[in-house]
Amino acid sequence: MSAPTVQRGQVWAPVLFLVLGTPIVVDLLFGAFTVTNLGALVPTVPAYGFAALLIRGTARRHGAGWQAVIILGIAFSVIAECLIVQTSLSPSPERAWGRAAGVNWTYLVWTMGYFSGWCIPLSIQLTELVFPQHRAQRWLTPLGMGVVAIAFVGMGIRTGYNWTHVTAPRMTGLPIYTPPLSTLGAAALAAGCLIVLGVVVARRPLRSRTLADRPAPAPFGVTVAGLVAGGLWFVLLIPSVTGGALTRVPPAVAIMAASTVAVATATVVHHWSRSRSWGDQHRLALVTGAMTASMGFGFLANHLTGTDLFGKVVLNVAALLGLAFIASRLRSRAVPDDRTRLLTRDGGTP
C-alpha cells in the first residue's frame, strides 16, 4: 500500500512546520541555543529540518513504521555528531566522561537517543498531529527528495566547517580539533550501514496488524510515562544533570542502564499502541511527556542565567500552552484513527 502522492501547493505548511520546528524542539526549547544567540540556531535548520523531512519521506514512501524512522534517526545522529559538528569526537571537559579511543561514548549514546527519540520521531509526530489532513501524503516528490538531500549534504558541510573551525573554538576556548581519518571513516561506515538497515526495514513486505480489544491507558498516564522515561535518559547519561555524581559510575554501566530504559519504553509503547482505543490524544500525551522532560532537564544541563534563563522560561511556557491548545483541538474534533498515517506497518503507531 502506497501513500497518496503530494498535491502541489497543499503541503507547504506542514513542511515548513517540520523543517523549522525540529531545531526549535531539539535545541531552542532544550536550551542548547538561547535567546541571546538565536543566530547560531539558523545553520541547524537545514541540518535537523531537512533530515526529518528526508526520513519522513523515506518512511512514507514505503508505508513504514516507527522502527525504520528510529533507525534512520540513529544514522542521522552519527552523521551529525561524528561527521558534521563532531562534538562526540572532539575532546571537551563537559563530555570527557566515558571517552575512549577518540570517542565520547556516553555523550554519543545520549545523542543517539535524543536524535532518534526527540529530534526525528517527536517532530514528525507533532507535525502530523497539527496537520492531520496531510499526514497520509508524502509531501515530497522523488525530485523534491533529491533536491532536499543535496541541500542537506551541502549545508551539512558548511555547517560542520563553521562549527568545528569557528564557533566551537570560540565557545570553548579549545584549539581546533581534527579527528583521525580512521575515526571519521568508521563513523561514515556506521552511518551508511544504519541507513541501509533503515531502508531495508522500511521496505519489508506489509503484513496484517491485529489490534487488541484491551483499553489503552489514560492520556495523562502516557504523559507521565514519557516524562519519567525521558528524565531517566537524561539523568543516566548527562553528568551535569546529576551534579557530576554519575561520573563515579562506570560509563558502560550507565550506557547499559539507559539502553534498558529505552528498550523498556519502546516495548511498553508498542504494547499500548496495539490497543484499538489508542489514538491521537495518546500520541500527543507521549509527545508532551517527552518534551517536558527535555525542557525541564535543559535548565539543569545548560546552566542558564539572566536573559537566557528568562527567555527559556517564556519559550517553554509557550510550548506547553501550544501543546495544550493542540490537545483541546483533538478533543473537539473526531480524527479517524486510520492506519494510513506514517506508521502503517506492523510494529505499532506511537
236-245, pLDDT tens digit by residue?
Answer: 888 877 777 7
Quick one: which of 50, 64, 55 has its CA closest to 3?
64
Q: 335 pLDDT exceeds 60?
A: no
CA atoms of 330 and 281, how far apart (whole Å):
7
In this structure, what C-alpha cell is assigned to residue 234? Answer: 537524561
Q: 342 pLDDT exceeds 50?
A: no
Report the share of the chain in percent with pLDDT over 90: 55
Burial of 133 (0-12, 13-18, 19+ CB in 10 A): exposed
Q: 12 pLDDT exceeds 80?
A: yes
Predicted confidence at residue 9, as pLDDT, reads 52
CA atoms of 20 and 12, how far apart (whole Å):
12
If one compares 40 and 129, the residue with the highest pLDDT of the two is 129
If one compares 143 and 205, the residue with the highest pLDDT of the two is 143
Q: How confident is the model at residue 346 (pLDDT cuts 50, 70, 90)?
A: very low
Q: How confident is the model at residue 343 (pLDDT cuts 50, 70, 90)?
A: very low
Q: How confident is the model at residue 210 (pLDDT cuts 50, 70, 90)?
A: low
Handedness of CA 113, 116, 120, 124 (dihedral sign): negative
Q: Tell me how crowded residue 35 is: count the other CB atoms within 10 A of its CB.
A: 17
Please name the residues in contact with 51: beta carbons below 8 A apart, sequence gap of 6 or more. 22, 76, 80, 119, 120, 152
Among 18-27, 83-92, 238-247, 310-319, the minimum mean pLDDT is found in 238-247
Q: How confident is the model at residue 350 (pLDDT cuts 50, 70, 90)?
A: very low
Predicted confidence at residue 162, as pLDDT, reads 86
Q: How confident is the model at residue 209 (pLDDT cuts 50, 70, 90)?
A: low
Report the share of the chain in percent with pLDDT over 70: 90
Rg of the chain (C-alpha set): 20
Instruction: Indicate the average pLDDT of the chain.
Output: 86
CA atoms of 85 and 32, how far apart (whole Å):
14
- Could you tell me the CA-to-CA distances from 45 to 26, 90, 151, 271 in Å, in that order? 11, 23, 11, 34
CA atoms of 194 and 202, how far apart (whole Å):
12
Q: 337 pLDDT exceeds 50?
A: no
Predicted confidence at residue 225, as pLDDT, reads 95
Q: Are 268 and 225 in contact (CB under 8 A)?
A: yes
Predicted confidence at residue 222, as pLDDT, reads 95
pTM, 2 dp = 0.86
Handedness of CA 72, 74, 76, 79 (dihedral sign): negative
If one compares 332 and 344, the residue with the highest pLDDT of the two is 332
Overall average pLDDT of the 55-75 stretch: 89
Beta bridge partners of residue 122, listed in sequence order: none
Predicted confidence at residue 205, as pLDDT, reads 65
Q: 8 pLDDT exceeds 60?
A: no
CA atoms of 286 and 230, how far apart (whole Å):
10
Overall average pLDDT of the 28-44 stretch: 86
Q: pLDDT by residue (tens digit) across 150-204? A: 999 998 898 888 888 887 888 777 888 999 999 999 999 999 999 999 999 888 8
Quick one: which of 238, 257, 137, 152 has its CA closest to 195?
152
Q: pLDDT by residue (tens digit) across 268-300? A: 998 898 888 899 999 999 999 999 999 999 998
Predicted confidence at residue 7, as pLDDT, reads 52
Q: What is the 3-state secondary structure (H, E, C) of the chain?
A: CCCCCCCCCCCHHHHHHHHHHHHHHHHHCCCCCCHHHHHHHCCHHHHHHHHHHHHHHHHHHHCCCHHHHHHHHHHHHHHHHHHHCCCCCCCCHHHCCCEECCEEHHHHHHHHHHHHHHHHHHHHHHHHHHCHHHCCCCCCCHHHHHHHHHHHHHHHHHHHHHHHHHHHHHHHCCCCCCCCHHHHHHHHHHHHHHHHHHHHHHCCCCCCCCCECCCCCCHHHHHHHHHHHHHHHHHHHCHHHHCCHHHHCCHHHHHHHHHHHHHHHHHHHHHHHCECCCCHHHHHHHHHHHHHHHHHHHHHHHCCCHHHHHHHHHHHHHHHHHHHHHHHHHHHCCCCCCCCCCCCCCCCCC
Q: Tell me how crowded residue 63 is: count the other CB atoms within 10 A of its CB.
A: 22
